[in-house]
């Protein structure tokens, strides 16, 4: 709800974060549509999609991948999760901590309140700012974020049956040859195999209880 003398400032403050859904309906004073349309379009048009695509297709990114493969540098890891499931967000946080303790630079994406939404525009903005070498998520693979550059490797730690990974009859078109599936148990590895994921792109790694083993 926007009203009063602070309305324009609050509109800019809220929608410039790119963490809220697009407006679909305005109730009340329809003149608000004119006041909202300009700022919101400006915020979303500033998202650096073209620059991000250019970077992930560049020799600079390929050279970073080669350095990572040779063990010369650690990857930058972008971890995306969701506040709506307590287990998922804390497990994702543990993985982010593990990557960080290993020596990786990390960034943890999660909504800060119940009204926020990790919009594609927000993710593009983070890609442009952080330039991750890998995208990490629990129980969601690339099919959950099909807008991502296909050159950016995606790691899915599969510990539950979530859509669209679960609903798709085949994952062959949804994933790339650089994507990796870490499976909690053999059952999930079998499910992925039935959906066309090659053995070289998946392995089984139960989460150990003992903290030092986990890290």
* H or E element, residue 183: strand 180-183
Percent of the chain with pLDDT over 70: 93
Q: What distance in Å separates the CA atoms of residue 109 and residue 70, rounded to the nearest whole number?
A: 28
pTM value is 0.86
Instruction: Name which of 64, 202, 184 is nearest 134 in CA terms.
Output: 64
Position with higher pLDDT, 11 vs 167: 167
CB-based contacts of 119, cutoff 8 Å, min separation 6? 18, 19, 20, 21, 22
Judge whether residue 46 has pLDDT over 60: yes
Q: According to the model, what pLDDT value does residue 42 have?
A: 76
Angle between helices 7-15 and 32-45 (to 10 degrees): 30
Question: Tell me: the pLDDT tens digits for 62-95?
Answer: 999 999 999 999 999 999 998 887 778 888 998 9
């Amino acid at each position: 709800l926007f009203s009063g003398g602070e309305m324009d400032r609050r509109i800019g403050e809220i929608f410039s974060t790119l963490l809220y859904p697009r407006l679909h309906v305005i109730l009340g004073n329809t003149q608000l549509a004119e006041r909202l349309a300009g700022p919101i379009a400006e915020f979303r048009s500033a998202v650096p999609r073209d620059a991000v695509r250019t970077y992930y297709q560049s020799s600079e990114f390929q050279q970073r991948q080669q350095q990572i493969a040779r063990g010369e540098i650690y990857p930058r890891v972008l971890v995306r999760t969701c506040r709506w499931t307590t287990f998922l967000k804390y497990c994702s946080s543990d993985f982010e901590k593990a990557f960080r303790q290993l020596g990786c630079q990390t960034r943890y994406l999660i909504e800060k309140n119940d009204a926020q939404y990790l919009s594609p525009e927000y993710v593009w903005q983070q890609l442009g700012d952080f330039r991750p070498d890998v995208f990490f998520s629990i129980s969601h693979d690339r099919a959950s974020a099909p807008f991502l550059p296909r050159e950016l490797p995606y790691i899915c730690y599969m510990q539950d049956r979530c859509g669209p990974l679960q609903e798709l009859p085949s994952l062959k078109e949804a994933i790339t040859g650089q994507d990796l599936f870490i499976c909690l148990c053999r059952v999930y590895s079998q499910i992925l195999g039935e959906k066309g994921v090659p053995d070289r792109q998946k392995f089984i790694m139960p989460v150990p209880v003992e903290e030092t083993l986990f890290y």
